Structure 1
Amino acid sequence: MNLGMNMLKMIQKPLLPWWIWHITSCLCPLSQPGKWPEKLVERSIRNSTERRKLGYFSCRTGNPIDDCWRCDRNWQRNRRRLADCSIGFGRNAIGGRDGRFYVVTDSGDDDPVNPRPGTLRHAVIQDEPLWIVFKRDMHITLKQELIMNSFKTIDARGVNVHIANGACITIQFVTNIIIHGLHIHDCKPTGNALVRSSPSHYGWRTMADGDAISIFGSSHIWVDHNSLSNCADGLVDAIMGSTAITISNNYFTHHNEVILLGHSDTYVRDKVMQVTIAFNHFGEGLIQRMPRCRHGYFHVVNNDYTHWEMYAIGGSAAPTINSQGNRYLAPVNPFAKEVTKRVEPWEGSWRQWNWRSVGDLLLNGAYFTASGRAAPGSYARASSLAAKSSSMVGMITSNAGALS
């Protein structure tokens, strides 16, 4: 009888992810509030990181991007289908979908003015649409900024490609770019040199800041499933009227100023900016700007924030920030529990800025300071997709970063 009852209970048990069951069944003592969530999240991350492999086909996880292409065991034959899987404000970025494949066979970057065929630099400057893939694992050290031309996809799925220890990627006055599956780290300032940007043009470049990915006056950009860390300036910067951008499924670690969206408080052209920040894991060693916003409309949805030292989301110049379904785990520091930070021109002006938190999971004393109007219509231009429940964030972001 007891055996039968136990079997019945097992059958009736809902099919929920293991980590949700662990939360709901946790019998940790309540005498230490805020202690168990941190340990639980760390354990979830540790298990998820071990599963961050391309061969792990995690279908129907609730992550609409991964569910779109990773369930296809023949994805390598259907690589360009990835362009149809984007979400958010950058969902119309097709990259090189309508062009031919270009195989990078040479990891060198000897001449930024006359790049050799077969190099990544030679691929990205071409005028035609290209879907760029790699013949093998590579470590690419760029002498100068990698200046991309329009309608390009860099697709590093299936190989281990690092862009590191030199210049990194510049997306300037172009459109329709997809960057997927790269390890980008230890980027350094470069410049005061000639660099080619197309087969017919090269020019003098002044000093670059050392961003991992710099987006300047560009639109329809999708940055997905990259691992970014430890660069001289930002990991992703989007400025000077850039818009229609999605930053998704990335794994950010070991950096100070992570994401900057908006050039300056006085550059009002950034009011057109619309950016989706979705399904990313903001991990160890991060300090601030996840993101730091100005002027535009920003949808921060279903991300996992497990580390920050100062704050997570900041802004100035009256941006609209729509935070939905994120998991915010505050640091131990009692003076750094606030998710938000505002830089205001005069005291109290921030109260008019439209910042809201809907369905966010706030752990270990984290709190989000909302402001502005509560009406849903106030966030229409800062809404780009339907948010999942914050209880699903661990599963949705479990494979964030470059897949191996």
Structure 2
Amino acid sequence: MQPYGDVDSTLRAIAGRAEGFGRHAIGGLHGALYLVTSLSDDGPGSLREGCRRQEPLWIVFEVSGTIHLSSYLSVSSNKTVDGRGQRVKLTGKGLRLKECENIIICNLEFEGGRGHDVDGIQIKPNSRNIWIDRCSLRDYDDGLIDITRQSTDITVSRCYFAQHDKTMLIGADPTHVGDRCIRVTIHHCFFDGTNQRQPRLRFGKVHLYNNYTRNWKVYAICASVEAQIYSQCNIYEAGDKKKAYEFYTEKAADKEEAKSGIIISEGDMLLNGAQPCLLTEYKESVFHPSEYYSTWTMEPATHSLREVIQLCTGWQSLCRPVDNMVMN
């Protein structure tokens, strides 16, 4: 039972189909088709040119190859960046989703981002209704995906993460108490030997389900100040380090007492000596996903699910679906 069985039937069938907190992301559903015809960093037919335009756009690629970004590539509201049909890798820098909404990023590769504070996908501040699907991310100098500064209602699905240390930070630091609004769903992702932060959360709410995390070097997931993580039917396979669930204590800027976060583990599979979560007595203190969305496609954590996740995450060799939407 896998999600999104028919989202590739036509080009725009994916719009609004995310599961979880990012379910309202429609990207450039009501916009024209923009064709990326150049692998240049900027200029006519470039990805940057399409992303900076203010009108809704469904961006697709006519070329395969590597785009070397000399600076962050900012994505404006109501955009779909759709890599289906080609193989496009972004390197040098990453995407920046700043004060925007309705963004879908699909079927791209991110590798080799260099420089201070360079993330593969940086979501901040005040961005919402975002879906990151079927992307491969590895080897950036900072994070692979960072979600901070009051950005919320985001889904990350079917992504592949590798060759990295601090994988996914959600919630900037204890001074940014506005991050209490953050809500993120992460599902059917493969964290393949990434060291830590799968994710690390401060303040917000994260629903994790049907992910596979293996061979971490510090911990698998971490709840810091006031964080609430609901971990459902995930697979945690330890390497040398056995601690799957970590809790860091920090003091919010507007509170007198330091607190850690809370993790609820429900139906998780722990392999190769991965240590269980021991904070079940706090279950009533953690949100339940059903408070926010009624359905999600989840199955028990099994060895067969582990095999499927290894095959079906990250960039996929797909044909670009036909666009059957006629623009007025």
When the two structures are superposed, what TM-score results if normalisation uses the length of structure 2?
0.88
Q: Secondary structure at the match of 1:186?
A: strand
The equivalences for 1:71-82 within 5 A come to 75=9, 78-82=10-14
Q: Are 1:389 and 2:300 an aligned pair?
A: yes
Please identify the structure whose Cα radius of gyration is greater: 1
Of 170, 185, 197, the residue aligned with 2:111 is: 185
**For the Cα contact (< 8 Å) 1:297–1:382, is it kept in 2?**
no
Task: Give the whole-Å Cα distance in 2 for the aligned partners of 1:64 and 1:265.
Answer: 35
Q: Which amino acid in structure 1 is aligned with residue 88 of structure 2?
A: V
Alignment deviations for residues 83-129 of structure 1 (CA, whole Å, 9 cap, x no partner): 143111001100001111100001112xxxxx422000000011111
Q: Given the alignment of the two structures, is residue 135 of structure 1 paired with residue 40 of structure 2, yes or no?
A: no
Matched with 1:69 is: 7
Is 2:100 the partner of 1:100?
no
Counterpart residue number, 2:141: 232
Matched, 1:361 2:307: no
Partner in structure 2 of residue 212 of structure 1: 120
Deviation per residue, 1:252-275 (Å, 9 max, x gap): 000000000001112111111000
Q: Does the CA contact (< 8 Å) of 1:100 and 1:130 recur in 2?
A: yes
Distance 1:363 1:107 in 2: 43
Write the distance in 2 (CA, Å) between the matches of 1:139 and 1:308: 29
Aligned-partner Cα distance in 1 for 2:276–2:180: 24
How far 1:380 moved relative to its partner? 4.7
Counterpart residue number, 1:171: 97
SS at the partner of 2:97?
strand
Q: Report the Cα distance in structure 2 between the residues aligned to 1:348 and 1:330, rounded to whole angstroms.
A: 29
Tell me the matched-pair count. Answer: 306
Comparing both structures, which one devotes a greater share of its residues to helix? 1
Shift of 1:307: 2.3
Structure 1 distance, partners of 2:178, 2:188, is 28
Contact 2:264–2:286 (Cα < 8 Å) also in 1: no
Check whether the contact 2:38–2:63 (CA below 8 A) recurs between aligned residues.
no
SS at match of 1:221: strand
Specify the alignment match of 2:323 in structure 1: none
For residues 287 and 74 of structure 2, what CA distance do their matches in structure 1 show? 37
Take 1:255 and 1:174, find their aligned partners in 2: how far apart are those partners? Answer: 27
Q: Name the structure 2 match of 1:340.
A: 245
What are the superposed Cα offsets for residues 279-302 of structure 1, whole Å, 9 maximum, x if unpaired?
Answer: 001113x11000000001000110
RMSD across aligned C-alpha pairs, in angstroms? 2.0
Distance (whole Å) between structure 2 residues aligned to residue 95 and residue 281 of structure 1: 24
Q: Deviations over 1:336-389 (max 9, x none)?
A: 211011111389944xx4311000111111123242522387435786535321
**Which stretches in structure 1 are left out of the alignment for 5+ residues?**
1-61, 110-114, 190-207
Identity of aligned residues (%): 35
Counterpart-to-counterpart distance in 2, 1:79 and 1:328: 34
1:270 partner letter: D
Q: 1:105 to 1:151 in 2, by over 3 A?
A: same
Q: Which amino acid aligns with 1:364?
A: N
The 8 Å contact of residues 320 and 379 in structure 1, kept in 2 or not, is answered as no
What is the CA–CA distance in structure 1 between the aligned matches of 2:289 and 2:79, rounded to whole Å? 30
CA–CA separation in structure 1 for the residues paired with 2:94 and 2:211: 25
Aligned-partner Cα distance in 2 for 1:139–1:377: 43
Q: Is the 8 A contact 1:274 1:382 kept in 2?
A: no
Q: CA deviation at 1:138?
A: 2.0
Distance 1:340 1:153, change over 3 A: same
> Partner of 2:203 in structure 1?
295
1:63–1:396 CA contact under 8 A, matched in 2: no
1:402 is aligned with what amino acid?
W
Contact persistence 2:2–2:297 (CA under 8 A): no
**TM-score with structure 1 length normalisation?**
0.72
Distance in structure 1 (CA, Å) of the matches to 2:259 and 2:150: 24
